[in-house]
Structure 1
Amino acid sequence: MLLSDTPRGLNWLGNFDVAERESAALLLDSIELVGQDALQIGLSGLIESLADSLPNPIALVPVRELAPGQRYFQHGRDAPARLLLPQSFPGSEAIVAAMLNGVRRAAGVKQPFVEAPSLKNMRGARCRTILLVDDFSGSGGRIKTFYRGFKAHPTLRSWLSYQRIEYHVACYAATPLAFRNLQRTFGEEHVHVHTMCPTIGTRKWDEDQIQRIKRLCTTYASTAIQTSPLGYGDTGGLLAFSHSAPNNLPVILWQMFRAGHPGWAPFFLDKGIPDDVRALFSLTDRDRQRASAVRQLQQPRLSLIDWSQLRSQDTQDMMLVLAAIARRPRDRHLVAQLTGLSLPAVRRAADLCTTFKLIDRSFHLTDRGRAELQHAKKITLPGDDFLLNGSDEPYYPRQLRAGR
């Protein structure tokens, strides 16, 4: 189900003039929803894959908010970590910390991870890699501030200067802006992301649609909120978690009121997720995710496909990737943003497409790939009265079929 079809979505659309509701619905339906299961599976899988490639042992450190200039560790050889900021509650770092604890326990006998990222434990294990882990990065600022506060302890400065440790970052999702900023700080090979966060700027909308949505965000944003109408850092992010709606989403999606205009019906509740929306953050809600991706790809005929006839998840992902590559993206990061697929899923689908010569090494559709995409569009839902040549035969890419 698309977000604009839900009761809360319909109420939210009622905030806008009738002529503007199409743009508002496009914005709302473009938000990627990440549930607790998807976050845990994606982030845990990313860390487990890094355990095979990064120098061991690895200290897993959940990123949290630090005040400017604040150090993570207090003074002393085995100084403990500082507690939360005053008047602060544990945020996403508590969820990430619980996941990291599960990853350490699941590693078994061949433990590649430091038991806990204290100075004493890292010293005793002769830690080689410090992996800073976060669920999301919209600008890179929070991770960079945490990094400065974490490495400020003399012991860690010494280890780094003697090249005994190296720092890496792992995020479930990051915007293109955050990805670039973090690469400049840590190095291109030291930033690892499970999926790229879509933004207004990376959606393949035409220029008129982009301008109408930006105008909508500016016109209806509450003037009482000291944040850019496109969200923190002017990001225009389009991703929300079941535990939090990041403030880099456009303000009209999470503001609780509109100054001077009573009766505003919010969608998200500031950074909170309403109970009636929480059920949509399901790992298995692939129909909604696919419908959103098809809309972003501007492939209306793909919305008519009976996806149940695509025999495997790999085949479905391949079709989405082929449709995205038809838009001539620059790289796999942009394909991930267009399709809503994770980077590992995009890599697997792209590798399969290359193997079966549906795309070439330059990331362009081959004649065979164009033919497969056109063939898939003919597998329509039963009862559709469209002028398309339907088929009852379960679809499977021709190159994967047994020879006759």
Structure 2
Amino acid sequence: MTRNIAFMKSEATLAWIGQFDPTDQPLVIEMLQKMLLVSRNGFVERLIKLIRSKNGGHPVGLYAERELRSHGGRPNRLFKQSDRKPFRAAGAGPRPIDPFRAYDADVGSEGIVAQAVSELCRRFPKVYFNHPGPDQIRKNKIRRFVLVTDFIGSGDRVRKYLDAAWRVASVRSWWSARATVGMSFEVIAYSATPQGQSYVEAHPTKPDVSLVAPCPTIANIFSREKKYALQNLCAQYSPAARHLPSTGYGWVGALIAFAHGAPNNVPLIFFKKSPTWIPLFPERVTSDVRDHFTDEPETGEQLRERLKAMRQSRLSQSGLLASVDPQIRNLVMVLAALSRPPRTRQSVALQSGLTLSEVDSVLAKAIGYGWIDGRNRLTDRGQAELRRMRVDQFNLSGLPHETEDDYCPQQLRVPVSLSR
């Protein structure tokens, strides 16, 4: 495969691969090729775009997720509240950045997230409020509590932040009235693992979780055989003690790295060191390779490799992949991904390399064309179009003309003609 080309050819990456036995290197290379690498500009721009797309017309309180102090095994309350009934919350909101330990001034991913939140609040001061406290929430009638983070791995840190808010009596009162005048909870992240997202969604606040892109993991991107082989490989080469989870915190096995750092949910071979092991992301810092994290569209050759991985060898030879129109290329990739289960938007995004918003846009168009039904299954007409694509007989001029102003629904329903 040819994904992550510049990253794969970098001196640091090649040196890291060289530490593995030659018989193990092909599997290691495939793992690196399937990683989601996020550049600094791409991270900020897409995260802000996602937040803006969720504007529901009510004032929004934005909070950058970070590690919180705890006492007795529970996080401290996010807001101050009175000691006596009715336990009314008051005062300012939490600090966007506050080192977890007094002796350690290290700032993690919350720094770049807090900067993005601050930028949005300055640009749209009547819509977004920067870490508002109870007084500001009441004064500005803020109805949405939006927690922003870069990544949900195990979901523990996000749950802990939500727990800190849930411990405040006034917050629980606002939440109970969320259908009318109260407050709802949302979590917006660049990416998340399936288990981490499910764990967060199960929180008592019942937050709506939105992502830019799903996270590839050892478990969800490889076949069963290769999954077990990679898990064994991570354990065999793990530079840490045997009792530590070799595939990362929570045994997540995340395959993602940001320009600002790698999460602790990636396998330990990526960031732990030992006398005999040099990590690719030492102390989870990606500075040696982040210049190779690119936002450039994938080439026709890269798309062909993706299609071959979907068992679409014939379609991979289609001249449509040379189209300069990204909408056409995206359409080909999504229809190919939908030809076999699973057909969830997350699965389609992982296979196609598209963001979830790009997948949603293509799905909406495909339903409008009558190519898929409400369960994302190809209709007879969709199957016919896919066959035409395989033999380069797909007529691009037959598609309706669209502009950037065209309406794109966020929730898809079965068209009447297709549900009969």
TM-score (normalised: structure 1): 0.83
CA distance in 2, matches of 1:174, 1:114: 25
Residue matched to 2:346: 333
With over 3 angstroms needed to count, the CA separation of the structure-2 counterparts of 1:374 and 1:17, relative to structure 1, is farther
Residue matched to 1:199: 217
Residue matched to 1:278: 290
Work out whether 1:229 is the aligned partner of 2:243: no
**C-alpha contact 1:129 1:168 (8 A) present in aligned 2:** yes
* RMSD of aligned Cα (Å): 3.0
Work out whether 1:8 is the aligned partner of 2:33: no
Instruction: Report the AA paired with residue 34 of structure 1.
Output: V
Residue matched to 1:178: 196
Structure 1, residues 283-310: CA drift from partner, whole Å, max 9, x if none?
2253497577446535456665667632
Deviation at 1:280, TM superposition (A): 2.0
Structure 1, residues 251-274: CA drift from partner, whole Å, max 9, x if none?
2222233x6xx2x34222231003
Deviation at 1:27, TM superposition (A): 0.8
Aligned match of 1:165 in 183, 190, 195? 183
Structure 1, residues 274-333: CA drift from partner, whole Å, max 9, x if none?
33x212222225349757744653545666566763231111111111221123214112
Deviation at 1:22, TM superposition (A): 1.1
Work out whether 1:119 is the aligned partner of 2:131: no
Work out whether 1:18 is the aligned partner of 2:36: no
Deviation at 1:60, TM superposition (A): 0.6
With over 3 angstroms needed to count, the CA separation of the structure-2 counterparts of 1:88 and 1:302, relative to structure 1, is farther
CA distance in 2, matches of 1:301, 1:11: 36
Structure 1, residues 20-51: CA drift from partner, whole Å, max 9, x if none?
11111111111011112222222112211222
With over 3 angstroms needed to count, the CA separation of the structure-2 counterparts of 1:161 and 1:332, relative to structure 1, is closer
Q: How does 1:239-388 map to 2 (within 5 A)?
A: 239-257=256-274, 262=276, 264-275=277-288, 277-287=289-299, 290=303, 293-294=306-307, 296-299=309-312, 309-373=322-386, 376=389
In structure 1, the gaps of 5 or more residues are 380-392
Instruction: Report the AA paired with residue 254 of structure 1.
Output: F
Deviation at 1:344, TM superposition (A): 1.0
CA distance in 2, matches of 1:266, 1:184: 35
Moved more, 144-153 or 240-249: 144-153
Work out whether 1:102 is the aligned partner of 2:148: no
Aligned match of 2:69 in 67, 80, 85? 67
**C-alpha contact 1:229 1:250 (8 A) present in aligned 2:** yes
Instruction: Report the AA paired with residue 139 of structure 1.
Output: S
**C-alpha contact 2:337 2:351 (8 A) present in aligned 1:** yes
Instruction: Report the AA paired with residue 33 of structure 1.
Output: L
Deviation at 1:371, TM superposition (A): 5.0
Instruction: Provide the secondary structure at the position in 2 that maps to 1:201.
Output: helix
CA distance in 1, matches of 2:116, 2:245: 32
Moved more, 364-373 or 287-296: 287-296
CA distance in 1, matches of 2:100, 2:304: 41
CA distance in 2, matches of 1:292, 1:144: 38
Instruction: Provide the secondary structure at the position in 1 that maps to 2:253.
Output: coil
Residue matched to 1:33: 37
CA distance in 1, matches of 2:81, 2:207: 32
Instruction: Provide the secondary structure at the position in 1 that maps to 2:211.
Output: strand
Instruction: Provide the secondary structure at the position in 2 that maps to 1:42.
Output: helix
Instruction: Report the AA paired with residue 350 of structure 1.
Output: L
Deviation at 1:235, TM superposition (A): 0.9
Aligned match of 1:45 in 46, 49, 70? 49
Instruction: Provide the secondary structure at the position in 2 that maps to 1:168.
Output: strand
With over 3 angstroms needed to count, the CA separation of the structure-2 counterparts of 1:360 and 1:188, relative to structure 1, is farther
Instruction: Report the AA paired with residue 255 of structure 1.
Output: K
Residue matched to 1:92: 109
**C-alpha contact 2:92 2:132 (8 A) present in aligned 1:** no
**C-alpha contact 2:185 2:206 (8 A) present in aligned 1:** no
**C-alpha contact 1:13 1:24 (8 A) present in aligned 2:** yes
